[in-house]
Chains A and B, each alone.
Chain A
Amino acid sequence: MQKKWTFKITPFRKVLLALVGIAILVALYRLVVGLGPTTNLSDDWPWGLWIGFDLLCGIALAGGGFSTALIVHVLHKDKYLPIARAALLTSLIGYVIALVSLLMDIGRWNNCWRPFFYWGFHSVLFEVFWCISLYTTVQVLEFGDIFLERVKILPLKKILKPALIPLTILGIVLPSLHQSSLGSLYIVTIDRLYPLWWSMLIPFFFVWSAFFLGPAMVTIEGTLASRAYNRKPELPVFQSLTKVTMWMLIVYLIVKIIDLNYRGVAGMAFNGSFESNMFLIEMIAFVIVPIIMYAIPSIRTQLWGVVTASALVVIGVIFNRMNVVFTGMAGSVGTSYFPSIWEWLLTLGMWSALVLVYLFVVENFPILVKEHEEDEALSTGTGMTAGKSVEA
Chain B
Amino acid sequence: MTNSFTDYQNSDVFLCIGANPAENHPQAMRHMGIAVAKRGAKVIVVDPRFTKTAAKADIHAPLRPGTDIAFLYGIMNYAIENNLYFHDYVVNYTNASYLVSPEYGFTDGVFTGLTEANGKASYDTTNWQYQKDGDNVIKDPSLQDPMCVFQILKRHVSRYDIKTVCNITGTPEDTYRKVCELYCSTGKPNKAGNLLYAMGITQHSYGGQNVRATAMLQLLLGNIGIAGGGVNAQRGESNVQGSTDMGMLYHLYPGYLNSANAAIHPTLKDYLEKETPKTSYWSNRPKFFISMLKAWYGDKATRENDFCYDYLPKHTGKDHSHMAIFQAMSEGKIKGFFAWGQNPAVGGPLASATRQALEKLDWMVAIDLFETETATFWKRPGVNPADINTEVFLLPTAFSYEKEGTVANSSRWIQWRWKAVNPPGQAKSDLWIADALMKAIRKEYQAGGKFTDPIMNMVWDYDMHGHDEPDIMKIAKEMNGYVVADGTVLDSFAKLKDDGTTACGVWIFAGYMFEDPVLKVPGCMRRSREDKSGLGLFPKWSFAWPLNRRIVYNRNSADPSGKPWDPTRMLVSWDGEKWVNNDVPDFGFKDAVTGAQIPPDKSAVNSFIMTTEGQGRLFAPTGMKDGPLPEHYEPLESPVKNVISKTQNNPVAARYKGDFAKIAQTGSPDFPYIATTHRLVEHYQSGAVTRNCPTLAELMPEMFVTISKNLARRIGVVPGDVVSISSARGEIKCKVNVLPIVKPMRVNGKEVEVVGLPWHWGYQGLAPGSTANDLTPFVGDPNTMIPEYKAFLCNVKRA
Q: Do chains A and B touch in the complex (CB under 8 A)?
A: no
- Residues of A that sit less than 8 Å from B by CB: none
